[in-house]
Chain A
Amino acid sequence: MKHTFKLLFMLGAIVLPSSMFAQSTTILESFAQFDCHSANSGTFTKHISMRIDNKRGLSDGNFVCACSSHRDLKKFAGTVTDANGKVVKKIKRSDLTRTEYSSSLASDDYAFYYEAEVPASYPITITYDWEVEYSHHLNAYPSFFPIPGYEIAVDTASYTIIQRPENTLTYRVLNFSPDIKVTEADGNRRRIEFSIGHVSHMDKQAWGPSFSDRAPQVILSPLSFDWNNTHCDMSDWHSFGSWINELNSGRQKLTPEVVSRLHQATDTCTTLRSKVKAARKLLGNMTRYVSIQLGIGGYQTATAEDVCKNGIGDCKALSNCFCAMLHEIGLPAVYTLIALNDRHLIKDMPNFTQLNHVIVQVPLPGDTLWVECTNDIYPTDYRHNGMCGHDVVLIHPTGGELQTIPEYADSLNLHQVFADIELSADGSAHISYRESNLNSQFETLCNLTRIPTKDQQKVLLNRIACSNPTINDMKIQSDGACIDYKLDLHSGAFCKWSNNRIFLPLTLNPFYPLQNTKEEAHIIDLMGEGKLRESTIRYRIPEGYTVDSKLDPLRIDSPFGSFTRHMLIEDGYLVIRDTYLMRSGIYPEDQFAEWIAFRKALVDSSKKKVILKAVGV
């Protein structure tokens, strides 16, 4: 007998709550504890038991433990039980695979991992118990991350830290409100326990905030620590910055050869900005990015001299070397820490959890540059998407200072399109197409000049909606944070001709149909998405044809942006001018339906056509 199952949708009106979508995994219980033994050591133990309901959740059952020279896995045990509670597998320490592989050239880090096996049936429950010994220094405590990923619900989770008097620490709670219990423990120690009950799973949101902006978490940090004969005061960013400065002091000596080349390259520059650019160009010519994360060298930069000699460095080393170069030519430069994945640092708690990159601030009079030193695909004076709007920590000799890198105004992220189109009787078209892309729009194409010609053609043709395209000529020009290109195209079946009528598309860069329109309403995060697109398309109206459609203007307005279209006939051309402005920002969840409606209106605008009709018909 044939069974069917039926899903009913009314047009865009029904929003199905996320509880309708089963999560893949539920953490039944998660208990973690960090027991401090001294100012520099402690033991971390964790017990986690999770139920995996289907194959999508199987990877949640993988075990990974990151270790290093001061963090070692001491004990481990795991079990897998079936739906009836029967133990189907015991996982021993010897079942774990150890790997030292890293993306760096060299690193102290290693990891133990275990891949959960496909079970005979779902659900299964996987339980892990393990213990990690921390030694030598405690510059960070493990965070409390009760929900480790999307589609994972939690029934109960807790994290306890047992402090000794010498372990001063502080913490910040983000995105949830756990129960927090502070009690005294034996031996003059203090116990802080964070706990939560049931938390529903999180679904990925197409236009929502990032996982780390949503996920419940407690980040803990010592107020100070000692490492390799240095002492770091973590009470604020200022003192933290002092430690970084101390670690890196005395490391800015350049080789004489580089000093000579630097002056050769910059002494004749007439403006400060051009000096900075020339110095950056030299850095790019003489170095490449290779990461080396060993010991305290994971936080301490390699010397500028080593970078000069080897031509190799990671973000720390290259940024430090660049600072040294600018200082050599009398320009200010500040070693700057940033979190590429988090826009906002915890303002009142320095921590190692968030920071993951280094750039250079160049505070010129009336003009501050933020320079990416690891990749010269970004122009010297361009602020890329990983830094715009992000908090940073400037490392001055006097200490650290928090600042925020400004974003570009939406209208400065400019995408301009010009197309002149000549139609042929067979529906084909000759298109002279030009684009100009500035700032964030440049960034989407910044690699273009570095890929093979065939791949360039693929990338550019993917940006234009026309059928059976052939490129006759292509020119690409890049200057600073602007990339322009011209294409001379033939499109085989560009428009539809049907018995004395021609159907002309009104855009060559349509808005594509949406997915995820039925998500539960949520905050709309459009930070960094602001842009202005201006498109002008001119069709030469073929002889014997006239415009047979109304050329009414179109306007779509919303809090998120606006779209306008104007059409006119000018000197034998049908001219279509579109302007689309998207406003960067964070919008409340009660505007979600309006957001979907706005996007749908944009998609609909792309589908419209103008009809030309043969005269006398």
Chain B
Amino acid sequence: MKAFWIASFCLLLASTRVFAFEKNIKLGNPTNEELSLVSYDEDPDAEAICLYHGTTVDFRLTDQGLKAEYHYKIRIKVLKPEGVDWGNAEIIYYNSSKSTNKETVTGVKGTSYNLENGKVVKSKLNSDLKSDEMLNNHNHVYKFSLPNVKVGSVIEYEYRIESDFFHLIRDWYAQMSIPVRYAEFVITVPEFLKFSKLMTGVYPMEHKFTSSKYPVTTSNGQVLLNADIEEYWAENLPKMVKEDYIHSINDYKSHIIYDLEMLCFPGSRVQNFNNSWTNVDKMLLEDDKFGDLFKMKNPMPEFGVFLSIDEINDKKTEKAGEITLIDLSACGNTKEKVEVLRRAMRKKIKWNGKYGIYGMNTRQMLKESSVNAAALNFALMAILRDAGIQAVPVVLSRRSQGRISSAHAEIGALNAMVLQVRDGDQTFYVDAANDDFPVGTLHPDLLVEYARVVAPNRFEWVDISKCCKANVMQFVNATLDEDGNLNGMLMRRHRGILCGVSRNNYNNKKDSLTHVEKLAANLDCEITDYRVGDFASSAETYTDSIFFTKQVDADGESIYINPYLFVDMKSPFKTATRELPIECDCMVGEKHSIKIQIPEGYVAESCPKPISLRLEDGKTSCKIVTQVTPEEINVSISYNRDTMFYDTATFENLRSFWTTIEDACNSIIVLKK
């Protein structure tokens, strides 16, 4: 028997192919196949593979109330040296001295298994290798490190979390940053709880629901209530790691969200939770940090800023100090008015860099040196109201924080707010916090497909992803001499989102010298003079002018020049394939106009052919036209992208599109004497 065992082991060792696994969900007994595995065919690069991870959620009625109990089990195979760190784990849980509700981690057990000389050697996790640290005022982190984890080890661990937050079920992710062989999630929901569920992600999961019983001890003895056992599982999931051009990788991971809709203990009143966006709307409007702020008073008089003489007369101004009267009469349109008012407000109230959906009233605002974006937007809404401009809040989840779904309501998923402003029959959007971005534009992280207008008597979904665009116009006017010296001026006009981005970069620069040096390095030229436009007078445009010199190749007989000066059209896609779609920051419109005066007596040997490209969806296009006359070279480039999303099927065409553009912009014109 032993000989057979050893022979089988040797046979297994000789092979590098993965074997057909049987589902092994019980810890304590890794299979021979799991122990012998040396690589994973589906992902030969994998440093480790999760053979199994399972989570069960149960609800227990205790003397302290209803609790949710999570039981996590995991088994991982270490395949490469980098994989040994999977033997270290950290569990973050809620535990605050200021709250009676908390979470507790218990039952932490772990074992590593190693095959040594044909024998399975187990090393158990002991208490010396566990610790608990306070992370901050609200959270703790429980850490442990399994002993004897090396290449080839199978590691297993399990732990439980007992949580007072039965109404906030932890989201469950099937996918990890290593491949997952088998994952399951089982939640037993007693009849007095009702959850809404959302299953999402690129890779599908199976599920089934079965009925069960749930025993409850009452004063009359044990009662059996009904319960549903809801199971979800998936097999052979690839790893999911952050990639370029993906805002939030969690949007693509297979995962499950449970949201409590209703709680109804037998004999008790029904408690409804947010089970629909309509309810979320209602909850927000009833909240004093949201709904009450619709009646918030314009805070600017407290800072000595007024919209009219009457306001000044009404207000007791002796304490106000300096008084400013805002004159909107010079403003040509609503956007300009909003810009003036926002600017005035931001001079007085600072942003603390944080987002959120809850604001504060004027009295609270006056106590703070800086406030979050929601508070700024509510304040701006109040100011606009006094100026006769209608605005309503729009709540959303920033792209970097993951998408929300119109089908699944979750107030906790909302994390940012902007304003929608009515302008006749048009609307535009403004964020009081990111004031580098012109009114009507938003920071790319806020450009979402699903944002929700929440106002008394008005609730609707709006797509604000395409509310604005990044526009750039570049003009180059240069002179070339016989020695290949190119001198000229580059004028850049950034509008829309790009105005905001450029302004933000400029405002955050260390100093002007560093800013210009960085620019020179990026543009690959010497900068002899640099001018930037005044932000105050040109709110919608960031302009700068760069006076440059550059050397091109010249050998006395010929000059060799790439005329596509300062045109950054390098293909962003280096890899041949891509598994996830491409999410762009925003829509883009680019125009370049380049004029280069050539030295007398020189003629161009040839001229690059014009290029005109368009992707199948018709939303992405590029034109490059080059003309040469006896006096000058003229280039005109226009690039347009009216989409922010490319699916994986488009990748090859997209890559080819960019390859063609990059190749075209590498052309050289030879000027001969």
Contact B82 A450 (CB under 8 A): yes
Bitwise interface map of A from 374 to 410 toward B, beta carbon under 8 Å scored 1, else 0: 0011000000000000000000000000000000000
A12 vs B349: C-alpha distance when bound (angstroms): 42
Distance from B530 Cβ to chain A, minimum over Cβ atoms (Å) = 5
Binds A, one of B25-33, B146-154, B266-274: B146-154
Contact A9 B149 (CB under 8 A): no
Find chain A residues with CB under 8 A from B351 CB: 118
Report B606-620 residues with CB < 8 Å from chain A CB: 606
Chain B residue nearest to A124 (CB atoms) is B369
Q: Is there a chain B Cβ closer than 8 Å to A181's Cβ?
A: no
Q: Is there a chain B Cβ closer than 8 Å to A425's Cβ?
A: no
Distance from B3 Cβ to chain A, minimum over Cβ atoms (Å) = 23
Report A87-106 residues with CB < 8 Å from chain B CB: 88-89, 97-102, 105-106
Distance from B598 Cβ to chain A, minimum over Cβ atoms (Å) = 15
Q: Is there a chain A Cβ closer than 8 Å to B605's Cβ?
A: yes
Report B524-573 residues with CB < 8 Å from chain A CB: 524, 526-534, 536-538, 549, 551, 553, 555, 560, 562, 570-571
Q: Is there a chain B Cβ closer than 8 Å to A453's Cβ?
A: yes
Contact A105 B511 (CB under 8 A): no
Contact A311 B123 (CB under 8 A): yes
Q: Is there a chain B Cβ closer than 8 Å to A183's Cβ?
A: no
Interface size class of A (residues with CB under 8 A): 35 or more
Q: Is there a chain A Cβ closer than 8 Å to B352's Cβ?
A: yes
Bitwise interface map of B from 635 to 670 toward A, beta carbon under 8 Å scored 1, else 0: 000000000000000000000000100110011111
Contact A4 B669 (CB under 8 A): no
Distance from B509 Cβ to chain A, minimum over Cβ atoms (Å) = 9
A496 vs B670: C-alpha distance when bound (angstroms): 11
Q: Is there a chain B Cβ closer than 8 Å to A493's Cβ?
A: yes
Contact B517 A503 (CB under 8 A): no
Bitwise interface map of B from 250 to 272 toward A, beta carbon under 8 Å scored 1, else 0: 00000000000000000000000
A517 vs B514: C-alpha distance when bound (angstroms): 9
Contact B510 A454 (CB under 8 A): no
Contact of B663 among A88, A105, A288, A468 (CB under 8 A): A468
Q: Is there a chain B Cβ closer than 8 Å to A515's Cβ?
A: yes
Find chain B residues with CB under 8 A from A271 CB: none
Contact of B150 among A102, A107, A285, A517 (CB under 8 A): A285
Contact of B151 among A56, A110, A285, A611 (CB under 8 A): A285
Bitwise interface map of B from 79 to 112 toward A, beta carbon under 8 Å scored 1, else 0: 0111011011000000000000000000000001
Binds A, one of B133-141, B160-168, B461-469: B133-141
Contact A609 B560 (CB under 8 A): yes
Most buried by B among A287, A290, A457, A611: A290
Distance from B672 Cβ to chain A, minimum over Cβ atoms (Å) = 10
A55 vs B141: C-alpha distance when bound (angstroms): 32
Q: Is there a chain A Cβ closer than 8 Å to B60's Cβ?
A: no
Chain A residue nearest to B347 (CB atoms) is A121
Contact A518 B517 (CB under 8 A): yes
Find chain A residues with CB under 8 A from B133 CB: 99-102, 107
Q: Is there a chain B Cβ closer than 8 Å to A312's Cβ?
A: yes
Find chain A residues with CB under 8 A from B128 CB: 310
Bitwise interface map of A from 248 to 292 toward B, beta carbon under 8 Å scored 1, else 0: 000000000000000000000000000000000000111110100
Contact A9 B529 (CB under 8 A): yes
Known: A120-B369, A288-B87, A496-B562. A458 touches B137 (CB 8 A): no
Q: Is there a chain A Cβ closer than 8 Å to B309's Cβ?
A: no
Contact of B141 among A9, A101, A288, A516 (CB under 8 A): A101
Q: Is there a chain A Cβ closer than 8 Å to B129's Cβ?
A: yes
Contact A99 B529 (CB under 8 A): no
A287 vs B151: C-alpha distance when bound (angstroms): 10
Known: A7-B516, A498-B606. A310 touches B148 (CB 8 A): yes
Find chain A residues with CB under 8 A from B663 CB: 427, 467-468, 492-493
Contact A101 B668 (CB under 8 A): no
Find chain A residues with CB under 8 A from B606 CB: 498-499
A461 vs B571: C-alpha distance when bound (angstroms): 13
A117 vs B81: C-alpha distance when bound (angstroms): 43
Chain A residue nearest to B545 (CB atoms) is A4
Q: Is there a chain A Cβ closer than 8 Å to B65's Cβ?
A: no
Chain A residue nearest to B578 (CB atoms) is A454
Q: Is there a chain B Cβ closer than 8 Å to A421's Cβ?
A: no
A119 vs B562: C-alpha distance when bound (angstroms): 49
Contact of B134 among A7, A100, A118, A286 (CB under 8 A): A100
Distance from A611 Cβ to chain B, minimum over Cβ atoms (Å) = 7
Q: Is there a chain A Cβ closer than 8 Å to B458's Cβ?
A: no
Contact A458 B574 (CB under 8 A): yes
Bitwise interface map of A from 486 to 518 toward B, beta carbon under 8 Å scored 1, else 0: 000000110011111101000000001111111
Report A399-442 residues with CB < 8 Å from chain B CB: 427
Contact A467 B666 (CB under 8 A): yes
Chain A residue nearest to B144 (CB atoms) is A105
Find chain A residues with CB under 8 A from B368 CB: 117
Report A1-28 residues with CB < 8 Å from chain B CB: 1-12, 16, 20-22
Contact A609 B553 (CB under 8 A): yes
Distance from B411 Cβ to chain A, minimum over Cβ atoms (Å) = 26
A7 vs B511: C-alpha distance when bound (angstroms): 12
Q: Is there a chain A Cβ closer than 8 Å to B315's Cβ?
A: no
Bitwise interface map of A from 549 to 581 toward B, beta carbon under 8 Å scored 1, else 0: 100000000000000000000000000000000
Contact B131 A105 (CB under 8 A): yes
Contact of A496 among B129, B353, B570, B667 (CB under 8 A): B667
Distance from B190 Cβ to chain A, minimum over Cβ atoms (Å) = 37
Chain B residue nearest to A151 (CB atoms) is B510
Chain B residue nearest to A427 (CB atoms) is B663
Find chain B residues with CB under 8 A from A110 CB: 134
Contact B513 A16 (CB under 8 A): yes
Chain A residue nearest to B544 (CB atoms) is A4
Q: Is there a chain A Cβ closer than 8 Å to B67's Cβ?
A: no
Distance from B590 Cβ to chain A, minimum over Cβ atoms (Å) = 20
Contact B513 A21 (CB under 8 A): yes
Distance from B613 Cβ to chain A, minimum over Cβ atoms (Å) = 15
Chain A residue nearest to B511 (CB atoms) is A21
Distance from A276 Cβ to chain B, minimum over Cβ atoms (Å) = 20
Contact of B533 among A4, A99, A117, A120 (CB under 8 A): A4
Find chain A residues with CB under 8 A from B669 CB: 498
Find chain B residues with CB under 8 A from A22 CB: 511
A290 vs B143: C-alpha distance when bound (angstroms): 11
Q: Is there a chain A Cβ closer than 8 Å to B23's Cβ?
A: no
A101 vs B369: C-alpha distance when bound (angstroms): 29
A106 vs B112: C-alpha distance when bound (angstroms): 20
Report B313-357 residues with CB < 8 Å from chain A CB: 348-353
Q: Is there a chain A Cβ closer than 8 Å to B229's Cβ?
A: no
Distance from B114 Cβ to chain A, minimum over Cβ atoms (Å) = 9
Distance from B331 Cβ to chain A, minimum over Cβ atoms (Å) = 17
Chain A residue nearest to B527 (CB atoms) is A9
Known: A101-B135, A501-B670. A376 touches B560 (CB 8 A): no
Contact A6 B531 (CB under 8 A): yes
Contact B88 A290 (CB under 8 A): yes
Contact B145 A312 (CB under 8 A): yes
Contact A290 B512 (CB under 8 A): no
Chain B residue nearest to A550 (CB atoms) is B555
Contact A467 B662 (CB under 8 A): yes
Find chain B residues with CB under 8 A from A608 CB: 553
Contact of A518 among B350, B353, B513 (CB under 8 A): B513
Can you show 11 pairs from A to B with CB atoms below 8 A apart?
A: A4-B531, A9-B529, A11-B526, A22-B511, A118-B352, A288-B87, A311-B149, A457-B574, A467-B662, A498-B668, A498-B669
Give 6 new A-B contacts, CB below 8 A, not counting A110-B134, A469-B574. A5-B531, A100-B134, A105-B145, A376-B81, A498-B670, A501-B560
List residues of B whose CB falls within 8 A of some A CB: 44-45, 47, 80-82, 84-85, 87-88, 112, 123, 128-129, 131, 133-137, 141, 143-145, 147-151, 348-353, 368-370, 508, 510-514, 516-518, 520-521, 524, 526-534, 536-538, 549, 551, 553, 555, 560, 562, 570-571, 574-576, 605-606, 659, 662-663, 666-670
The 7 closest A-B pairs by CB, nearest first: A118-B370, A452-B45, A106-B131, A311-B148, A310-B147, A493-B663, A100-B133
